[in-house]
Amino acid sequence: MSLIKTISLKPLGDERGSLIALEGNKNVPFNIKRVYYIFNTQQGVARGFHAHRNLKQLAVCVTGSCRFILDNGKQRETIRLDNATKGLLLEDLIWREMHDFTPDCVLMILASEYYDETDYIRDYATFYELVNG
Ligand code: TYD
């Protein structure tokens, strides 16, 4: 089974251009408590390198692109987010890394909870032990 769950976000376009609306418990399958975005990522920088115990997230590259690596301790998969209509759903205990940010990349993340450092697993060995141990 693939680790990659994507949601197709329907643009409400007309002759003026496009608009995408994200609504908690509607096209986003959780209650949205927090939004953050990652931008100005320097060349060669990779981010993430953690898993979350409970948090659900939806990642959308609003502009530019980046590549996600997802890892459940058994398999590893990669997906390039390169379109504002493509949402990547992260809802299980999954290790995530983000690589290959284009200079114009704005990666927006919707999250189901407020920021909580205790929800993070930042050590791969700890993560691996938790899912395989
Ligand atoms: P970090 O978790 O290192 O980013 P990433 O894993 O996506 O590469 O976050 C960078 C800093 O920002 C770190 O000091 C924690 C802080 N932070 C918040 O204060 N609130 C947030 O919602 C997030 C995501 C991070």
Burial 107-120 (b: 16+ CB within 10 A, else e): bbbbbbbeeeeeee
Q: Are 112 and 60 in contact (CB under 8 A)?
A: no
Using the mean position of ligand 1's atoms as its centre, give its distance from the Cα of residue 49 in Å.
Answer: 11
Q: In this structure, is residue 111 part of a structural domain?
A: yes
What is the SS3 assignment for the chain?
Answer: CCCCEEEECCCCCECCECCCCCCECCCECCCCCEEEEECCCCCCCCEEEEEECCCCEEEEEEECCEEEEEECCCCEEEEEECCCCEEEEECCCCEEEEECCCCCCEEEEEECCCCCHHHEECCHHHHHHHHHC
Q: Which of 5, 34, 50, 67 is catalytic?
A: 50
Q: Is 99 a catalytic residue?
A: no
| Residue 78: per-residue pLDDT | 98
pLDDT at 1: 86
Instruction: Check pLDDT > 90 for residue 2.
Output: yes
- Model confidence band, residue 93 (pLDDT cutoffs 50, 70, 90): very high
83 found inside a domain = yes
With respect to residue 106, please indicate whether it lies within any of the assigned structural domains.
yes
1-12 mean pLDDT: 96
50 within ligand 1 shell (Cβ under 6 A):
yes
Structural domains of the chain, count: 1
Residue nearest to ligand 1 atom 22, measured at CA: 115
The pTM assigned to this predicted structure is: 0.96
Q: What is the pLDDT of residue 13?
A: 82
Q: What is the domain range of residue 94?
A: 5-9+26-132
Residue the block writes with tokens 């809802």: 91
- Average pLDDT score over the chain: 97
- For ligand 1, is residue 99 a contact (CB within 6 Å)? no
User: What phi and psi values does residue 20 have, to the nearest 5 degrees?
Assistant: -120, 130
Is residue 97 very low, low, confident or very high in pLDDT (cuts 50, 70, 90)?
A: very high
pLDDT digits (tens, 9 = 90+) for 31-83: 999 999 999 999 999 999 999 999 999 999 999 999 999 999 999 999 999 99
Asked if residue 19 belongs to a domain, the reply is: no
Across residues 16-39, what is the average pLDDT?
A: 98
Residue of minimum CA distance from atom 6 in ligand 1: 48
Question: Comparing C-alpha atoms, which of 24, 75, 31, 79 is closest to residue 55?
Answer: 31
Amino acid at 22: L
User: What CATH number did the domain enclosing 102 receive?
Assistant: 2.60.120.10
